[in-house]
């Protein structure tokens, strides 16, 4: 396992650096590293490490979501309240509708099978989107207009909505009845997550005010609580649950509201953690990609994916109706909301494992969606944000001053 960890870090970072040098997203190099070192090509990664791959990927997501919460500008988010709520479910619904329209005609699937495949593909990847939106907030691009905050909020909730739909559709494929409580659970789990996160964040702010401990210890406390929340969510067998990932992001928001200076210092610490977490996340996502399935893909599958993405972008456009955003800013939001990776890697193989006739097709299309949209979506964000978004120099100056204060400590 130690050799595998060394290979992931050394090769992953090196490939990421090479890709950035040739003006490509670093995550592309990390994904390629995972594919090549993974079980379907060179098979150089320890099976024990791959066995805990899902947990390691979740820890990486926890780190970046906490960092996002600590840096989220709530004032700008409040200004764009309605579109932020719509982004949580409208683009995914449009993409699912596109899949229901295209897949039965082009891939000879039933409507229910197309719904299962649509639910697998409809989630945006927080692993790709969240770190890039955090970077935009730190550099001040689109912050005044609330664009990275809008995309962050949507990407954090979008997955919850899609996973509930996926569970419902797979249950229907197995002949189970659909409960209205499953759909009620979507908004309830979101609001419970927000409430729990804000409560914990406020309590931590009070604790950190009364008890003086190192910032590193504060990070360990927050990280441990975040892990416990994920375990609690996974352990709950009730119909009504809460979203742990949303709660984790709102811990950062709650802490930021009460102790902004402390939140900024902790955010810097989380930024350092992300350096290693990013490598593990994308290399391990790459390791789940079975390149053997790519050989089975025809042009029709590619058309279905691209067509569904067009529907998704149309959904984003609908969410932004009535806002003061310019055409270039709307175009950026539409592109930034397309990458797929973590959710597809996590649930793409479930229909096949359940013995569904469409399982092989769903997994194949999920693999292609990751390979196609993760690097292209990241490239579109990295290449276009300086051209399409306006930079707020005032926000950058505030960030620089806070970092300097942190360095003195």
Q: How confident is the model at residue 401 (pLDDT cuts 50, 70, 90)?
A: low
Residue 360 in any domain: the answer is: yes
Q: What is the pLDDT of residues 328-382, one digit of tens each?
A: 999 999 999 999 987 888 788 888 888 888 888 888 888 889 888 999 999 999 9
The share of the chain scoring above pLDDT 70, in percent, equals 91
Which two three-digit tokens encode residue 84? 């932020």
Structural domain harbouring 104? 53-408
Q: Is the pLDDT of residue 93 over 70?
A: yes
Q: In this model, does residue 285 exceed pLDDT 90?
A: no
* 3-state DSSP of the chain: CHHHHHHHHHHHHHHHHHHHHCCCCHHHHHHHHHHHHCCCCCCCCCHHHHHCHHHHHHHHHHHHHHHHHHHCCHHHHHHCHHHHHHCCCHHHHHHHHHHHHHHHHHCCCCHHHHHHHHHHHCCCCHHHHHHHHHHHHHHCECCCCCHHHHHHHHHHHHHHHHHHHHHHHHHHHCCCCCCHHHHHHHHHHHHHHHHHHHHHHHHHHHHHHHCCCCHHHHHHHHHHHHHHHHHHHHHCCCCCCCCHHHHHHHHHHHHHHHCHHHHHHHHHHHHHHHHHHHHHHHHHHHHCCCHHHHCCCCHHHHHHHHHHHHHHHHHHHHHCCCCCCCHHHHHHHHHHCCCCCHHHHHHCCHHHHCCCCCHHHHHHHHHHHHHHHHHHHHHHHHHHHHHHCCECHHHHHHHHHHHHHHHHC
Residue of 259, 235, 233, 237 lying closest to 246 (CA atoms): 233
* Total domains in the fold of the chain: 1
Who has greater pLDDT, 13 or 324? 13
C-alpha 163/C-alpha 169 separation (Å) is 10
Averaged pLDDT for residues 288-301:
77
Contact indicator for 30, 15 with CB cutoff of 8 Å: yes
Q: CA-to-CA distance for 82 and 389, rounded, in angstroms? A: 21
Is the residue at 27 inside a domain?
no
282 in Cβ contact with 345 (< 8 Å) = no
Lowest mean pLDDT among 78-82, 240-244, 361-365, 403-407: 403-407
Determine, yes or no, domain membership for 39.
Answer: no
Supply the pLDDT for residue 65.
84
Report residue 137 as tokens. Answer: 């907030």
pLDDT greater than 70 at residue 409: no
Task: Give a yes or no: residue 13 inside a domain.
Answer: no
pLDDT of residue 209: 92
Q: Confirm if 94 and 122 have CB atoms less than 8 A apart.
A: no
Q: Assign residue 326 the CATH number of its domain.
A: 1.20.1530.20
Q: What is the pLDDT of residues 16-51, one digit of tens each?
A: 999 889 878 888 899 899 999 999 899 999 999 999
Q: 159-206, pLDDT tens digit by residue?
A: 878 887 887 888 888 776 556 776 777 788 888 988 999 999 999 999
Residue 375 domain flag: yes
Rounded mean pLDDT of the chain?
87
Closest CA to 285 of 348, 218, 229, 216: 348
CB of 245 closer than 8 Å to CB of 65:
yes
> Is 402 inside a domain boundary?
yes
Largest CA distance in the chain: 63
Q: Which residues pair with 391 in a beta bridge?
A: 141
Q: What is the pLDDT of residue 408?
A: 45
Is residue 37 assigned to a domain? no
* Burial class for 275, CB neighbours closer than 10 Å (0-12, 13-18, 19+): exposed
Q: Does residue 30 lie within any of the structural domains?
A: no
């Amino acid at each position: 396992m130690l050799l595998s960890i060394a290979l992931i870090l050394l090769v992953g970072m090196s490939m990421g650096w090479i890709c950035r040098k040739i003006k490509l997203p670093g995550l592309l190099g990390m994904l390629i590293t995972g594919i090549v070192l993974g079980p379907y090509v060179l098979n150089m990664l320890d099976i024990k490490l791959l066995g805990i791959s899902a947990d390691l990927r979740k820890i990486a997501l926890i780190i970046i979501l906490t960092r996002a919460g600590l840096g989220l500008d709530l004032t700008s988010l409040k200004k764009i309240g309605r579109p932020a709520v719509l982004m949580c479910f409208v683009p995914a619904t449009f993409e699912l509708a596109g899949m229901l329209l295209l897949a039965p005609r082009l891939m000879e699937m039933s409507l229910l099978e197309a719904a299962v495949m649509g639910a697998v593909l409809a989630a945006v990847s927080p692993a790709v989107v969240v770190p890039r939106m955090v970077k935009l907030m730190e550099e001040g691009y689109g912050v005044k207009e609330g664009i990275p905050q809008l995309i962050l909020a949507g990407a954090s909730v979008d997955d919850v909505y899609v996973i509930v739909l996926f569970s419902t559709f797979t249950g229907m494929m197995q002949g189970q009845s659909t409960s209205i409580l499953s759909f009620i659970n979507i908004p309830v789990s979101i609001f419970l997550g927000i409430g729990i996160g804000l409560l914990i964040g406020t309590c931590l702010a009070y604790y950190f005010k009364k008890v003086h401990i190192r910032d590193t210890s504060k990070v360990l406390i927050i990280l441990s609580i975040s892990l416990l929340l994920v375990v609690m969510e996974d352990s709950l067998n009730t119909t009504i649950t809460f979203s742990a990932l949303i709660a984790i992001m709102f811990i950062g928001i709650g802490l930021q509201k009460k102790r902004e200076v402390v939140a900024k210092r902790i955010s810097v610490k989380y930024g350092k953690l992300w350096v290693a977490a990013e490598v593990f996340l994308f290399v391990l996502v790459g390791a789940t990609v079975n390149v053997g399935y790519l050989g089975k893909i025809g042009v029709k599958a590619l058309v279905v994916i691209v067509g569904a993405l067009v529907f998704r972008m149309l959904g984003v456009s609908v969410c932004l109706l009535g806002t003061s955003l310019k055409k270039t800013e709307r175009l950026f939001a539409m592109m930034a909301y397309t990458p797929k990776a973590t959710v597809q890697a996590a649930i793409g193989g479930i229909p096949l494992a359940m013995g569904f006739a469409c399982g092989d097709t769903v997994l194949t299309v999920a693999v292609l969606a990751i390979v196609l949209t993760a690097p292209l979506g990241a490239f579109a964000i990295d290449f276009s944000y300086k051209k399409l978004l306006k930079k707020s120099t005032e926000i950058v100056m505030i960030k620089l001053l806070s970092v300097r204060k942190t360095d003195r400590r």
